[in-house]
Structure 1
Amino acid sequence: MPTPLLPVAEAQCRLVALATPLPTARVPLAEAAGRWAAEDIAALRTQPASDLSAMDGYAIRFADLPGPWEVIGESAAGRAFAGAVNAGEAVRIFTGAPMPQGADAVLVQEEAARQGARLTLAGKGPLAPGRHVRPKGLDFTAGETLIQAGERLTPARLALAGIAGHGTLAMRRKVRVAIAATGDELVPPGTPLADAQLPETNRLMLTAQLADLPVEIIDLGILPDRRDALEYAFRAVTADLLVTSGGASVGDHDLIRPALEAAGGEIHFWRIALRPGKPMLAGKLGDAVVLGLPGNPVSAFVTALLFVRPLIAHLSGASDPLPETRRLPLGEPLPANDARADYLRAEVREGRAFASMIQDSSMLQTLARAGCLIVRAPHAPPAKTGDSVEILHLA
């Protein structure tokens, strides 16, 4: 009796359980972009460190309105006024400059008139103490947790860590990913083709899919359909993750499983209730996790999206490594689904998802045009135009 197909969610959970996050090291802030925090990141300083002006104008005491005032100095960013503001006095101030001692409001320059050192009100002026002032600690205070362990260092979080006083951060080391394609028919792109040969593009595609992740790619090239050659290549691998494409099914030339086992590896699960991508397998080879992806390019792309990327995120310390879905209204009806989860290539037009007419897993053109994948659960009923469907956005 054939082994039941493994549901996608269960396969993802079992895959993540095969490995623990990698060791940590401190890396310069400039090298932390796109990685995940290995520990909580707390502020080393208060921001702003003192009360600052939010506008160009004059620092005054609110109690002195409606003026007039005598201008006694200037405060600029990086060059604060050294004295104090007393009754009837004002200090010329610029956006981001420290508020002088004694001043508690800013008279914006559009509402001020000045002749020499004499300053008068030319508008309504600030409506309350603290007006146009950024108070000390408005953004955060020293010791406050700003970024939690497992959160990804987006550009904004990277800037936040920097302004909080950090020059280095604790990150998991980069994931070493070995990528191999298998198949006697495959040749590098751009090579003149003999009969039955095919340009090999899965390694190129997979490497590009991982480009935004903290990885070091080890290109194993194109491996032949020979068990001894595959076994030799697998024994030589030094990586955290071995990804192969092709040879994971049940044909006479599908040799990934026996070669992996001959090299001392073990298969943890195989065949997913997924379309495209059913033949995917997962296992271990020493300390490395092995993912055998199907050879059809769309199947390889989808399984990389659902399994390779999440595993790398998990090894990198992500608290939520699985891809995030959203919802869009359907542009056209879809029939009921069978027992496998469907990930349908679709275009997004006028805010609606339109599934491609042909979903053959060898067709890269439909994948290249797709803006998302429509996710259809096993045994999903027919869907009508306008129904809300779950999607995975494709950048």
Structure 2
Amino acid sequence: MSGLLPVEDAQKRLLALAAPVETETVPIAAAAGRWLAESIVARRTQPAVNLSAMDGYAIRFDERPGPWTVVGESAAGRPFDQTLEPGEAARIFTGAAMPAGADTVLVQEEADRDGDTLRMTGEGPSGQGGNVRCAGRDFADGDILLQQGVRLTSPALALAIAGGHGELAVRRPISVALISTGDELVPAGVSTSAAQLPASNGPMLVAQLGGLPVTINDLGIVADTREALSDALDAASGSDIIVTIGGASVGDHDLVRPVLEAADASIDFWRIAMKPGKPLMAGTLNGSVVLGLPGNPASAFVTAKLFLEPMIAHLSGASSPLPQLQSATLGAAMPAVGKRTEFVRGRWDGGRVRPLDQQSSAALNALAQAELLIRRPADGEAAEPGHPVDILPLA
């Protein structure tokens, strides 16, 4: 594994380490945020009948401007159950079924009613079928509503329900074990000496994964010893993904890789051409995907965004698990790029994007301010304001 692996190659190789997990069928309310394991086919037509799009009167278009005799009323859930004869109209409300014999709705703002006599005022409907939602306009029985691999957003759930579904086939939640390494780390809220640091990466990743279909086993802080790390890996056994944070570099106390190798793990790659996040490691151990994230907070966050989140999406059956970059325009100059693809923390500034001043991988203040990552390709030239760039929004 000489040299540094390009980011895109590393992402592909990571996703190739495991296939999506098993399927389960759950009540539709429990499917929010999951990815569909099977395409959804409509079991009904929406609307099932022609409906009024406005409050007004159901009429025949060719009888304008009237007069008509109002002979009944159609409300949502309480349709007028007779056929309108020539010269007749029915009071109708938004969402109500159109009576037989009517083809158009005269809106109430253009109607003048005196007792049961109705006349049109103003220009009236523009054509036959005006102000009517035709049957099947949204979808028809048998239509594919959502494709396999699509994530179930709140509108997607509403569509599935409207299509007649109460349960959906999705992938089961992904189990993730988190292992934070480092003798210098102490739990959140505990007083620190000058040589210690609060352990922020574990809670940060728990929060980062909060909107994904996962169960998280946070194994806390693990000492920088082979025995402690080996015990933590045993405790994480059976998880779909084992995430180690820190300890994957090349120092004497970076023990993650040697302990994994001693446990007969298969290391697929280690170190990638990315800034921040070069000491990223990926492999497998006893059926679990192992992802070794760097210990600096910005590096841990960015690599989790670009590798851990996509791996969870892939195991969950996503058809497009990798982050979707967007186009933006620079609002400030950026220097030339070295041999590694850079993901620069930035913010919006008047419709353009601007890099934050502090880009240290250990800088949490700048990370907390970041609204997006600006992707700068390896060996890229300096860029001036107005230059197009790819970005990855963080919210």
TM-score (norm 2): 0.98
* Structure 1 contact 36–151 (Cα < 8 Å) conserved: yes
Using the TM superposition, name which of 276-285 and 226-235 deviates more: 226-235
1:345 — aligned with what? Answer: 345
1:157-172 equivalences under 5 Å are: 157-172=156-171
1:316 — aligned with what? Answer: 316
Secondary structure of 1:178's aligned partner = strand
Secondary structure of 2:13's aligned partner = helix
How far apart are residue 194 of structure 1 and its match? 2.9
Q: What is the CA–CA distance in structure 2 between the aligned matches of 1:369 and 1:127, rounded to whole Å? A: 52
Q: What is the CA–CA distance in structure 2 between the aligned matches of 1:124 and 1:8, rounded to whole Å? A: 62
Using the TM superposition, name which of 353-362 and 100-109 deviates more: 353-362
Query: Deviation digits for residues 347-383 of structure 1, max 9, x if unmatched?
Result: 2211122222231110011111112111111100111
How far apart are residue 108 of structure 1 and its match? 0.9
How far apart are residue 233 of structure 1 and its match? 1.6
Query: Please, which runs of 5 or more residues in structure 2 have no aligned partner?
Result: none
Letter matched to residue 43 of structure 1: A
Letter matched to residue 331 of structure 1: G
Q: What is the CA–CA distance in structure 2 between the aligned matches of 1:358 and 1:172, rounded to whole Å? A: 40
1:181-200 equivalences under 5 Å are: 181-200=180-199
* Structure 1 contact 248–292 (Cα < 8 Å) conserved: yes
* Structure 2 contact 85–101 (Cα < 8 Å) conserved: yes
Secondary structure of 2:211's aligned partner = coil
Secondary structure of 1:91's aligned partner = strand
Q: What is the CA–CA distance in structure 1 between the aligned matches of 2:129 and 2:356, rounded to whole Å? A: 58
Matched, 1:19 2:18: yes
1:211 — aligned with what? Answer: 210
* Structure 1 contact 178–241 (Cα < 8 Å) conserved: yes
TM-score (norm 1): 0.98
Secondary structure of 1:300's aligned partner = helix
Secondary structure of 2:367's aligned partner = helix
Letter matched to residue 390 of structure 1: D
1:379 — aligned with what? Answer: 379
Q: What is the CA–CA distance in structure 1 between the aligned matches of 2:28 and 2:153, rounded to whole Å? A: 12
* Structure 1 contact 232–263 (Cα < 8 Å) conserved: no
1:388 — aligned with what? Answer: 388
2:272 — aligned with what? Answer: 272
Secondary structure of 2:178's aligned partner = strand
Using the TM superposition, name which of 6-15 and 250-259 deviates more: 250-259
Matched, 1:239 2:239: yes
Using the TM superposition, name which of 356-365 and 16-25 deviates more: 356-365
Using the TM superposition, name which of 72-81 and 263-272 deviates more: 263-272
1:38 — aligned with what? Answer: 37
How far apart are residue 262 of structure 1 and its match? 2.2
- Let me know the Cα RMSD of the aligned residues: 1.1
How far apart are residue 195 of structure 1 and its match? 4.0
Using the TM superposition, name which of 205-214 and 121-130 deviates more: 121-130
Q: What is the CA–CA distance in structure 1 between the aligned matches of 2:119 and 2:389, rounded to whole Å? A: 62
Q: What is the CA–CA distance in structure 2 between the aligned matches of 1:225 and 1:234, rounded to whole Å? A: 13
Secondary structure of 1:101's aligned partner = coil
Q: What is the CA–CA distance in structure 1 between the aligned matches of 2:247 and 2:362, rounded to whole Å? A: 15
Letter matched to residue 265 of structure 1: A
Using the TM superposition, name which of 384-393 and 275-284 deviates more: 384-393
C-alpha spacing 1:278/1:344, structure 2 compared with 1 (3 Å)? same
1:180 — aligned with what? Answer: 179
1:291 — aligned with what? Answer: 291
The structure 1 segments of at least 4 consecutive aligned residues displaced by more than 4 Å after TM superposition are: none
Q: What is the CA–CA distance in structure 2 between the aligned matches of 1:383 and 1:112, rounded to whole Å? A: 62
How far apart are residue 90 of structure 1 and its match? 0.7
* Structure 2 contact 179–232 (Cα < 8 Å) conserved: no
Secondary structure of 1:301's aligned partner = helix
* Structure 1 contact 231–262 (Cα < 8 Å) conserved: no
2:98 — aligned with what? Answer: 99
2:306 — aligned with what? Answer: 306
Letter matched to residue 296 of structure 1: N
Secondary structure of 2:44's aligned partner = coil
Q: What is the CA–CA distance in structure 2 between the aligned matches of 1:195 and 1:352, rounded to whole Å? A: 40
How far apart are residue 331 of structure 1 and its match? 1.8
Query: Deviation digits for residues 116-143 of structure 1, max 9, x if unmatched?
Result: 2121222222232111111000000000
Secondary structure of 1:21's aligned partner = coil
Q: What is the CA–CA distance in structure 1 between the aligned matches of 2:257 and 2:115, rounded to whole Å? A: 86
* Structure 2 contact 275–340 (Cα < 8 Å) conserved: yes
Letter matched to residue 285 of structure 1: L
Secondary structure of 1:230's aligned partner = helix
Secondary structure of 2:86's aligned partner = coil
Using the TM superposition, name which of 383-392 and 45-54 deviates more: 383-392
1:109 — aligned with what? Answer: 108
How far apart are residue 146 of structure 1 and its match? 1.1
* Structure 2 contact 79–99 (Cα < 8 Å) conserved: yes
Report how many aligned residue pairs link the two structures: 394
Q: What is the CA–CA distance in structure 2 between the aligned matches of 1:58 and 1:377, rounded to whole Å? A: 62
Q: What is the CA–CA distance in structure 2 between the aligned matches of 1:360 and 1:282, rounded to whole Å? A: 24
1:125 — aligned with what? Answer: 124
2:6 — aligned with what? Answer: 7
Q: What is the CA–CA distance in structure 2 between the aligned matches of 1:236 and 1:394, rounded to whole Å? A: 32
Using the TM superposition, name which of 63-72 and 159-168 deviates more: 63-72
Q: What is the CA–CA distance in structure 2 between the aligned matches of 1:25 and 1:71, rounded to whole Å? A: 54
* Structure 2 contact 51–133 (Cα < 8 Å) conserved: yes
1:244-259 equivalences under 5 Å are: 244-259=244-259
1:223 — aligned with what? Answer: 222
Query: Please, which runs of 5 or more residues in structure 1 have no aligned partner?
Result: none
